[in-house]
Amino acid sequence: FSPPLDEYGMPRMKHFQTNSIEDLQSWFEQKDISKLLNLYMIQPIDSKNQKISPYALAAYGTNGKYTSFDIIRRWFKVFEESASQDIRIIGSSTNPDPKYLLGMRLVSGFFATLLNNPISKHSPLLAIDIPKSWSWLFLPRQQLFWCMQDAIHMCTKLRNRLLSTSAVMMMGDGLVSIDYILQLIVLRSKFNHNLV
C-alpha cells in the first residue's frame, strides 16, 4: 500500500498496521496499492579508503503521487537527521523522474532558485572546485550535498539514443551518431578511444 506522506515528505510509519484480517481485506479493496518502490541505499565513505559495501537504509511502496517539494523536504529531513548522528551526506543519486530532476535543480541552484532555502542554515557547505575553463557549468560553488542522475540510467539513455534509427542527439551544435563511434573503432587505436 502507499503510505501518506508527513510534513517532511516522509512516509508515515506504521500507517498500515493491523491484526485484523477484515481490515487487511478492506485495504486491498479500497486503498491505493503501491505499484512502485522507493529504495534508499547508503554507501559509506571511509577516510582510510577501505571498501565498505552499500546497504539499504529504507524502502517503502509508493503510488508516485508526490511533488518535487515533497522530495526536497524528504532530502533535507534525511540530511538533518543524519547530521544529528554525526553522519555527513555528500551526495544523492536518483533515476531521471522529472519530479526528482526538478528537486535536484532547485536544491543545487542549477538554473533555479529554491525560496526559503534551508541550505543557508547549514554549515559547513561543500566547496566545489569548478575549473575556470568550465564556463559551461552553471552551478554554485557551494552546495549542501551533491545531486546527480543515476549513472546506469544516463548510460542506458545514451546507448538507446545512439542505437536508435530515429532519435537525434545533439551536443552543442554537433550531431552525435553511432557512425562517428564506428569510425573511431576502425580508424584509431584502441589505446586512444578505449572502445571495443
Contact 58, 37 (CB under 8 A): no
From first to last of its 196 residues, what are the pLDDT tens digits of the chain?
888 888 888 888 888 888 899 999 998 898 888 888 888 888 888 778 788 888 888 888 888 888 999 999 998 888 888 888 988 888 888 877 889 888 888 888 877 777 776 666 666 788 888 888 888 777 788 888 888 877 777 788 888 888 888 877 777 788 877 777 788 788 888 887 776 6
DSSP run (H or E) holding 55: strand 55-62
User: DSSP string of 116-151?
Assistant: T-GGGG--SPEEP---TT-TT----SEESSEEEE-H
